[in-house]
Amino acid sequence: MKTEKKPLILVTNDDGIMAPGVRALVEVMKELGDVAVVAPDKAQSGMGHAITINSTLRINKSNIYNVLHEYSCSGTPVDCVKIAVNKILHRKPDLCVSGINHGSNSSISVIYSGTMSAAVEGAIESIASIGFSLCDHSIDADFSAAKIVVRSIAQNVMKNGLPEGSCLNVNIPPLHIDELKGIRVCRQAKANWIEELDERKDPSGNSYYWLTGSFQNFEKGNTETDAYALDNGFVSVVPVQFDMTAHRAIPILNQWNFEIKK
Amino acid sequence: MKTEKKPLILVTNDDGIMAPGVRALVEVMKELGDVAVVAPDKAQSGMGHAITINSTLRINKSNIYNVLHEYSCSGTPVDCVKIAVNKILHRKPDLCVSGINHGSNSSISVIYSGTMSAAVEGAIESIASIGFSLCDHSIDADFSAAKIVVRSIAQNVMKNGLPEGSCLNVNIPPLHIDELKGIRVCRQAKANWIEELDERKDPSGNSYYWLTGSFQNFEKGNTETDAYALDNGFVSVVPVQFDMTAHRAIPILNQWNFEIKK
């Protein structure tokens, strides 16, 4: 009798290899395949799609989760995906999952998010990839409902694959499983962060700043958006692409007069 | 007689405030308006859309370019835009330009690029924004043709505005102005980087890695792409958006079976 080959699943995150969110993700993935964890050795929130090119990278064997491979990495979440595929696994995994992030990565946060950038990097490398975030920043957040959601979505992706050039941005409201209304496929809401640069003085009297902000949703009430789904008790699933071309703008720009010769 | 108010132009980059490329950009912008330079105090290449949220930010007055405002910033290119708008200018500039980068940011590089992420951040904040890159990595690259291109494109943007939710990714081949074939509006080519993790040993015998790679264009010969334009002596102009939703994938995902209740 032929043994069915188990899928190889790469797990990463941006809160660091010891965050409770990645533990929850690893627990679900161990049910679904052989797991490799390659995650940052420290918190890397807000790192976006940063890669480490002006300094060196290190990886260290780790032994927290009893999985096939497990390394912490000195770099960003995107570095973790690159080094996992090229130096640790030596092949593309069948699935790449990132998270579970402690805090929302909905709407415009997708672009600042290390969690989601790892998933986008997976998509760039033609790996079926998903970023998961629980809308609860606390270190002792309850991931029990999130784990059920993760399992359902990961199983769908493993069964159906993902449209070429896309990955998924999954955000989960901080609710009990019985309170969750369901899973809704959405688009990214038009929103941004209103910056608040908190100015302080160091002991020498020089100013320094903490970057903080408040979230502003420009299309409240629009039922197609991830922000709306989350506000109304649904898990939001947004397909995300790495083609950043604003295709609709091309015909407009073609009417401009670009004169560069004398 | 009423004096016409000059436009306020924010200049940033990712190679650092002392890079020759930002000097070239400042020189052109001084012809077009009042200039504020807020740029990283060190090279920030490959930082993507990273923001500094786990450590503090500092800005320091600088006096290289004889402009209205000039500060170096300890953070990323995106931090520079945020701190410029919120703490230095206290208003939105009329134009935000980033670069001129030493090296290409065409096709997939848009997503790793600090130069382009600053422009994307400008767009998120509803500022007309452009990232400029010269396809020449060398520190003593010749920016003379690039300056003519920059002037033409910046003037077009100031005159016409940009479609909502978009900025421009401008890449300039390393040619003399007489050799440039013209300016072409394009889309981002499907391409990626083939990673080469250069493994070395430190004096203690432990491994470390340098992330390098070679560029791979999956659609050579496709005349719509930025990679093609650059290979054929044209300046490429790609409109870039921050809505990362893969809209075409939504109907496909809506056919999936997301079961989360027992």
Indicate which of A196, A260, A262 best probes the interface with B, i.e. most B CBs within 10 Å of its own CB.
Answer: A260
Q: Give the pLDDT confidence of A85-104 residue by residue, as tens digits.
A: 999 998 899 999 999 999 99
Indicate which of A45, A171, A258 best probes the interface with B, i.e. most B CBs within 10 Å of its own CB.
Answer: A258
Q: Which two tokens stand for residue A103?
A: 């805090």
- 8 Å CB contact of A124 and B86: no
Q: Tell me the pLDDT of chain A averaged across its residues.
A: 95
**Beta sheet of B69-73, edge-to-edge order:** B59-61, B69-73, B34-40, B8-12, B95-102, B129-134, B166-172, B234-241, B182-185
Q: State the virtual CA torsion across A62, A64, A66, A67 in degrees, nearest 10.
A: -60
Is residue B119 domain-resident? Answer: yes
- 8 Å CB contact of B83 and A197: yes
Is residue A230 domain-resident? Answer: yes
CATH of residue A106's domain is 3.40.1210.10
Cα B241 from chain centroid (whole Å)? 13
Distance separating alpha carbons of residues B149 and B132, to the nearest angstrom: 9
Average pLDDT of the residues in A14-35: 97
Q: Give the pLDDT confidence of A202-237 residue by residue, as tens digits.
A: 999 999 999 998 999 999 889 999 999 999 999 999
How many contacts, defined by CB atoms under 8 Å, are there between A and B? 251
- Which residue is it, tokens 């320094």? A208
| The pLDDT of residue A2 | 55
Residues of B in contact with A111 (CB under 8 A): 49, 120, 124, 242, 244
Is residue A158 domain-resident? Answer: yes
Is residue A15 domain-resident? Answer: yes
Beta-carbon count within 10 A of B104 CB: 22
Average pLDDT of the residues in A99-115: 96
Question: Could you give the C-alpha distances from B156 to A29, A126, B124, B237, in angstroms and in order?
Answer: 51, 37, 20, 12
Rounded to 5°, angle at Cα A135 from A179 and A107: 115
Under the banding of pLDDT at 50, 70 and 90, the label for residue A5 is confident
| The pLDDT of residue B5 | 84
Is residue A39 domain-resident? Answer: yes
- 8 Å CB contact of B108 and A86: no
- 8 Å CB contact of A125 and B192: yes
Q: Which domain holds residue B118?
A: 8-189+221-253
Low-confidence stretches of chain B (pLDDT beneath 50): none
CA distance B34 to chain A (A): 23
Is residue A131 domain-resident? Answer: yes
| The pLDDT of residue A151 | 97
Please report the ipTM that was assigned to this predicted complex: 0.94
Q: Give the pLDDT confidence of A124-138 residue by residue, as tens digits.
A: 999 999 999 999 999
| The pLDDT of residue A90 | 85
Is residue A171 domain-resident? Answer: yes
CA distance A1 to chain B (A): 31
Residues of A in contact with B248 (CB under 8 A): 163
Q: What's the total number of domains in chain B?
A: 1
Under the banding of pLDDT at 50, 70 and 90, the label for residue A1 is low
Contact B10, B81 (CB under 8 A): yes
Is residue A157 domain-resident? Answer: yes
Distance separating alpha carbons of residues B33 and B27, to the nearest angstrom: 11
